[in-house]
């Protein structure tokens, strides 16, 4: 019962991680540059994401430009696109597999099949968390290195946006969920390895009948 509740908790974390992963992939605010200028009326906020760049004016105007050319993008953005998409796909597969393997569901057949499915889903969550953690860390490193560079003007420097923090949190949720699913599947098997079942030896009826027959011969 406790293991089923723990798996359900991990499943909730994984669902939040999947939605956060998808949101972080699509949001345009991976890095933000706020340029107030001399007049608050002309203040603008420039945001850059994996797929588009957006500009928000204080007057309420909002415009975005898609990044059509892939080869013109920096390497860390190309890698972030690929790994975040892989993270979304793996986490979605993990949701489908763990739905079959969870102990609180009636899908997946016997206990061994459900344990294997649950473990496979946990591995998918762990890989999705790693694929989501790598691009956010690399992207944050590029932002910080360019922010500390003295040769870059202040107007061209950026800070990490909300999508980066969303990606970090979602990757953490997926990693925790994957570890819980993987460990919950092997608790019962590990106990069986440590404490093997006792084998009861019962004398065969054939030996008893033969012994009785031999005793009768001596009487």
Tell me the pLDDT tens digit for each residue of 50-94: 999 888 887 778 888 898 888 889 999 999 999 999 999 999 999
Q: Which domain holds residue 97?
A: 4-27+74-194
- Whichever domain contains 79, its CATH number is 1.20.140.150
User: Is there a domain that residue 160 lies in?
Assistant: yes
Contact 92, 18 (CB under 8 A): yes
169 in a structural domain: yes
Does residue 134 contact residue 87 with C-beta atoms inside 8 Å? no
Q: Dump pLDDT digits (tens) for 146-184.
A: 888 888 887 778 889 999 999 999 999 999 999 999 888
Domain count, the chain: 1
User: Does the pTM exceed 0.85?
Assistant: no
How far apart, in whole angstroms, are the C-alpha atoms of residue 145 and residue 124?
Answer: 32
Q: List the structure tokens of 192.
A: 């069986």
Residue 40 falls within a domain, yes or no? Answer: no
Q: Has residue 166 been placed in a domain?
A: yes
């Amino acid at each position: 019962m406790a293991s089923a509740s723990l798996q359900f908790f991990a499943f909730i974390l994984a669902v939040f991680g999947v939605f956060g992963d998808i949101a972080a992939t699509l949001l345009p605010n991976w890095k933000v540059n706020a340029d107030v200028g001399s007049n608050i009326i002309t203040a603008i906020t420039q945001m850059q994401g994996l797929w588009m760049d957006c500009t928000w004016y204080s007057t309420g105007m909002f415009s975005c430009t898609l990044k059509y050319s892939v080869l013109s993008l920096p390497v860390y953005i190309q890698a972030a696109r690929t790994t975040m998409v892989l993270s979304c796909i793996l986490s979605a597969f993990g949701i489908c597999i763990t739905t079959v393997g969870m102990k609180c569901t009636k899908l997946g057949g016997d206990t061994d099949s459900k344990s294997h499915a649950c473990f496979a889903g946990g591995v998918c969550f762990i890989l999705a968390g790693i694929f989501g953690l790598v691009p956010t860390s690399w992207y944050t490193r590029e932002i910080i290195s360019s922010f500390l560079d003295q040769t870059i003007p202040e107007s061209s420097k950026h800070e990490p946006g909300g999508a980066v923090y969303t990606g970090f949190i979602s990757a953490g949720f997926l990693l925790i969920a994957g570890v819980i699913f993987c460990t919950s599947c092997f608790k019962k098997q590990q106990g069986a390895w440590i404490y093997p079942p006792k084998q009861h030896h019962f004398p065969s009826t054939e030996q008893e009948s033969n012994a009785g027959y031999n005793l009768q011969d001596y009487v």
